[in-house]
Structure 1
Amino acid sequence: MVRIEIKKRYTVRKSKLSEIYRDLKENIGQSSELFKSDRVEIVETTADLAIYLVDRKPYLMEIGGSVFPTLHGAVDRPFPEKRITVDPGAIPFMAKGADLMRPGIVSASDDIKKGKPVIIAEEKHNKPLAIGIALMDTEEMMAAETGKTAKNVHHVGDEIWSLEI
């Protein structure tokens, strides 16, 4: 990934704010309430990426055309939706940005849809490791025995994680 630098930062208008929360609610349901705030800012970056600051912290981002929590948001304000749990063997690969392969999956929530963002968490402590785009629905994912199941787009230690605001 190319080094991300901040170009501009400004407060989101109320009309845009309602769109953001509507999209977030479509993705993570009632847990979207965890991210509600009167003060939300948008950070324009040098990358093709929109990051939203909730109470001055990078908790939301626009990914795959959808608003979804960043890893910081998922760690600080945990939610159960759109979650794939992986075994300890997958952790080093996910932390380096590898895509998620089926053999590493222990469980997946029932609400995962192909082409939509998901959170990838480790099994022991249930801590988020990465945000990915699902390559298949839950049923298809759990029925598969091999192959890629999610594309890793944001992981611990990447440019988004290390972005200083």
Structure 2
Amino acid sequence: MIEIIETNQDVHLYLVDKEPLILEKDGILFPSLRGAVSRPFPQKRIVVDMGAVSYVVNGADIMRPGVVDVTPDVTAGKPVQIVDERHGKPLALGIALFDAADLLAQEKGKVARTWHHVGDDIWNLEF
């Protein structure tokens, strides 16, 4: 069973068997964090070092010094999953500000804008 829930955050949630597994933001469908955790996928990843984890799970944007790897399919303006380097677990979803090669070429500054993270309102929804 699939249900669509509209939110006040310009995000639609797609519930699959009462689990919020897919998000739609600005017309783009992407797995929610719960979806990425329950059904992992290796694409569209920005990998952050363990020192960045506590900031990311609190909703911080992704800064270049904390990035250790990026999959080549990361595209500026498109959704990405932010994962930790040790376990590869999704910590947040965001929008990349650079393509993969340009992101890695940066030495400092913001490289992705976070819009859904562990512990936020969407993560804490219960049905």
Do they superpose with TM above 0.5?
A: yes
Q: Does 1:135 align with 2:97?
A: yes
User: How far off its partner does 1:149 sit?
Assistant: 0.5
Q: Does 1:83 align with 2:49?
A: no
State the SS of the aligned residue for 1:152.
strand
Which residue of structure 2 aligns with residue 145 of structure 1?
107
State the SS of the aligned residue for 2:113.
strand
Contiguous gaps of at least 5 residues in structure 1: 1-38
> Does the 8 A contact of 1:42 with 1:52 survive in 2?
yes
> Does the 8 A contact of 1:84 with 1:105 survive in 2?
yes
Deviations 1:97-146 (A, max 9, x none): 11000010110000011000000000111111000000010010011111
The alignment yields a C-alpha RMSD, in angstroms, of 1.0
> Does the 8 A contact of 1:64 with 1:133 survive in 2?
no
Q: How far, CA to CA, are the matches of 2:94 and 2:26 in structure 1?
A: 10
Deviations 1:62-93 (A, max 9, x none): 12431000000000000001011100110011
Which residue of structure 2 aligns with residue 108 of structure 1?
70
More helix by share: 1
Which residue of structure 2 aligns with residue 42 of structure 1?
4
> Does the 8 A contact of 2:10 with 2:25 survive in 1?
no
| Larger displacement relative to structure 2 (82-91 or 40-49) | 40-49
Q: How far, CA to CA, are the matches of 1:106 and 1:47 in structure 2?
A: 30
Q: How far, CA to CA, are the matches of 1:74 and 1:57 in structure 2?
A: 12
More strand by share: 2
> Does the 8 A contact of 1:119 with 1:131 survive in 2?
yes
State the SS of the aligned residue for 2:114.
strand
Q: Describe how 1:1-165 pairs up with structure 2 within 5 A.
A: 39-165=1-127
Structure 1 runs of 4+ aligned residues shifted over 4 Å read none
Contiguous gaps of at least 5 residues in structure 2: none
Do the aligned partners of residues 133 and 60 (structure 1) sit closer, same or farther apart at CA in structure 2, a change above 3 Å counting? same
The structure whose Rg is larger is: 1
User: How far off its partner does 1:55 sit?
Assistant: 2.4
Percent same amino acid at aligned positions?
A: 54
Taking structure 2 as the reference length, the TM-score comes to: 0.96
Q: How far, CA to CA, are the matches of 2:124 and 2:100 in structure 1?
A: 30
Q: How far, CA to CA, are the matches of 1:114 and 1:65 in structure 2?
A: 16
